[in-house]
Structure formats: C-alpha cells, structure tokens
Structure 1
Amino acid sequence: MSYSALECLALLIVLGGCLVQALLGIGFALLAAPLLYLLDPGYVPGSVLLLGFLLACCMLLGERRAPAWRRPLPAILARLPGAWCGGLLLGLLPGAWLGLLLGASVLLAVLSSYRWLALRCSPRNLAIAGFCSGLMGTATAVGGPPMALVYQDRAAAETRAELAAFFLLTTPVSLLALLYQGRLPLDHLLDSLKLAPGVLAGYGLALALRGRFDRHNPRRLLLLLAMLAAVGLLLLSLWRLAAQR
C-alpha cells in the first residue's frame, strides 16, 4: 500500500490524536478533525468518525473488562436524536460553512475546557452532553468536548473506559445518519482504512507511556494544539468564503 506525502502527514495526525485520546480519554477528534480538514475536507466528518470508532474498539479491548456503559447510558440514549439533528444540519451546510462550524466548535471546546463550567456527572447533565455530542459529532466529527465537560472531575482510568464505551456504542449512529444524508462516500472510507495503522500505532504508543502521563497530564499541550488548529481552520474558511464572493 503506497502513501502520498499528504497521506503520510494525515497518518501522523491520526497517530498523534489517538495517542492523546488513549492517554486522556478524549482528544482524537478535537485535535485530528481540524488538521485533517485542512489537508482534505473529505476526511471530515466520516473518516474521523470511523477512525474514532476503531480507536474505541482498541481501548475497550485493551482494558480487558466489560464495557462501562451503565453511567453514560443517559448520554448514549440522548445521542440518538442528536446524531439525527447533526446529519440534517450537515446536509444544509456548504463546504466553507462546515469549516467555520468545525473551527468554532473546536475553539469553543478549548475555551470551555478551562473549567469555566463546573458540571456534575449527573444523569441530566449526561443526557444534555450526549445530545450535544451527537449533534456536533455528526456534523463536525468533534463530539467529545460536551462529554469531557461532564467527566472533567472523574478519574483518568474511569473516564477512558466509560467514554470508550460511549463512543463505541454511539458512533455507528452518527455514521448511519451520514449514510442516510449521502455524506459518506466510499472513496473517503477507503482513505480511512489507509489511516487505520495510525490508530493502532497511536494506541500502542499510549500503552507504553500510560504510566508516565497518568502522573504528568499533557492536557495543556493538547488544548494549545487544538486551539491553533481551530484558528487556522477559521481563517482558511473565512478566506474561502471571501473568495466565493
């Protein structure tokens, strides 16, 4: 299987995003989606969702225990209507506007991650976060931040296990919503399979580093990189909109 220069760069982005999420429980789409969109808008949202689903499978298999789905069950159920609304929203958005929405979603997620919102991990908050995750995740592939806000005070191991179960059970719903909207072309799914080794490599590297990063959380670096990617994507999308006039 041969790779072009852009595909090699995409592979590195996927590896880095998977490494972060396997360590923190969140971060793959937050980091990878804006960067992959800058490389090729076709990667978002379908390819990012599919790769995120593969990562969730790896994380659950790596934990070697039953999926921790009981606590996030309200979020799982609420993501179903959220995913449907996200699919409808995506069908209404031109390409440049999708870039603006993705960049704004990532930037808002970064800003809210500085604990301006103190949310308990209650069933009501989980349901609201699940709906927002379905809406954002299906439209932009960035569905993790609403769940991260609710889980921000939980232990790292608990967060990894429960969010992996959440994404494993709900990502297929978003993919089906995209398929129904005709936004899941076969050629981009094949491109996703070429990036799958990045998922496996990122997860494997995370297993080797997990003991260190449980003590030294690289959260600030993740947020900084995501913010830079979001700002770049916003500027590029604004330039594209201006060029269309």
Structure 2
Amino acid sequence: MAVFLGAVVQGSVGFGLGLIAAPVLTLLDPGIMPGAIQVVNMTLPLFTLAAEWRRVDWRGLGFAVLGRLPGSAVGAVIVVYLSVQTLSVFVGVMVLAAVGLTARALSVPRNGATVTAAGFVSGVTGTATGIGGPPIALVYQTAKGPQIRATLAMFFFLSAAQSLGILALVDHLPGRALTTGAVLVVPMVIGFLVSGPLRRHLDQGKLRVAILAVASVSATVLIAQTLLT
C-alpha cells in the first residue's frame, strides 16, 4: 500500500515514492533497506520517461549527476560507519527550512551551482535513507510539469542504479532486498497508472504548491521516523 501511494504521488508530482514507502519498509524490515526501495526507485522512472522523455533538461541533469557522484560516496560511508538517524534529522530540518524560504520567494535560482549542490545532497540522502527527491525537486519547482517529471525521472533512474551498485560494493545489498524490491514493482506499476488524472490536474499551475507540500511531508516523515524509533 505504501509503494502504491508513493507511486501515485511520484507519478503526479515527479517525486515522493521514497518519502512514503521508505519509512514504512524501514519500520517493517530494516534489513532490506535501502536496497529494496532503490529497486523500485530505479524502475518507476522508466514509466515516466516512456511518456515524457523528450522534456528532459539534459544540461541540468548533467550538473545534478555531477553532484550526485560524490554525494553517493558520502552516503555509503554514512551507511557503513555513521548514524543514519542523525543524518535524517539534519536533512529533515534543512528541507523544512528550504521549503519555508522558497515558499516566500518566486523560485530557487536554477543554475549549474544550485543543481550540482542539490545533486550532492540528494546523493547523500538517497543512498543513506532512500529519500533523495526533495533537493532536486525544490530546484526545479518552477519548471513546467512535464519537464520536472522527465528530468527527475532520468535523475532518479541513474541515481538508484548508482546507489544499488555502491550498496553492493560495501556489502549492504542482501538478496532479500532485491527480491522484495522486485515484488514491490507490481503495486508501483498500479500506482503509476492511477496517477494519470492527477498529472493533468497539477499541470494547470498547481505543481509548485504540490512540490512544496510533498517536500514538507518528506522532511516531517524523516524527523518523526527518527524520533519514534
């Protein structure tokens, strides 16, 4: 159910699967995380790209991936040696602060520096916690709906593949995580199909508000999950 709902949100807004599904999977079986959610994170973007791949911002994507590479390495170190709980609280607070600031302004400047920085933060949080969408989404919040979804989809596909590779290298990708992720592809596909009508609704000038709302929920979930576990 969590993966289904997350796929509905991400299929509509461009991100959100991790923020809904990752906390639930972590509470049910920490041993399969973050590998299981990364399997789903790598599969869902393919459906978005099948419909909207022509709208990818390739220049911005290049900067985001450039930042994502070192960010993923830092995230892997955190998984192995440091406290993911501490990181989750920090990331949650920073995302809420970013939402508060951007809600008062017209937009976050979208340039090479900001997209690279967002890619780095996304790499750290995505690899360590399975939730890497908010930093990139906040930078792209004023773009048109198809461009946001297509660019984020390509970024998430590459990011999830990279994270799975790094988790395997540091021996934090058990076979059970891959099997669970494969099973969860089924509710993910159903959720994406349900998201179609919402995409058309949000594309009528309401996507920025939805992105800020989903990012806020993401941060709150991260903080609450950490404090309650």
Q: TM-score range by the shorter chain?
A: 0.7 to 0.9
- How do 1:18-167 residues align onto structure 2 when only pairs under 5 Å count? 18-63=7-52, 65=54, 67-93=56-82, 97-116=83-102, 118-167=107-156
Question: In the alignment, which residue of structure 1 is the partner of 2:182?
Answer: 193
2:225 corresponds to 1:236: no
Would the aligned equivalents of 1:15 and 1:202 in 2 still touch at CA under 8 Å? yes
**SS at structure 2 position matched to 1:114:** helix
Would the aligned equivalents of 1:75 and 1:128 in 2 still touch at CA under 8 Å? yes
What is the alpha-carbon distance in structure 1 between the residues aligned to residue 10 and residue 163 of structure 2?
19
Task: Give the residue type in structure 2 aligned to 1:177.
Answer: I
**SS at structure 2 position matched to 1:70:** helix
1:84 deviates by 1.4
What is the alpha-carbon distance in structure 2 between the residues aligned to residue 127 and residue 83 of structure 1?
13
State the superposition RMSD in angstroms: 2.4
- 1:110–1:29 Cα change, 3 Å: farther
Gaps of 5+ in 1: 1-11, 238-245
1:235 deviates by 2.5
- 1:195–1:147 Cα change, 3 Å: same
Cα displacement string for residues 136-177 of structure 1 (whole angstroms, at most 9, x for unaligned residues) = 111111111111121122122211011111112232111111
Task: Give the residue type in structure 2 aligned to 1:151.
Answer: Y
1:202 deviates by 0.9
Q: What number of residue pairs does the alignment pair up?
A: 223
What is the alpha-carbon distance in structure 2 between the residues aligned to residue 18 and residue 102 of structure 1?
22
Structure number having the greater helix percentage = 2
**SS at structure 1 position matched to 2:161:** helix
1:222 deviates by 3.5
Which structure has the larger Rg?
1
Would the aligned equivalents of 2:53 and 2:150 in 1 still touch at CA under 8 Å? no
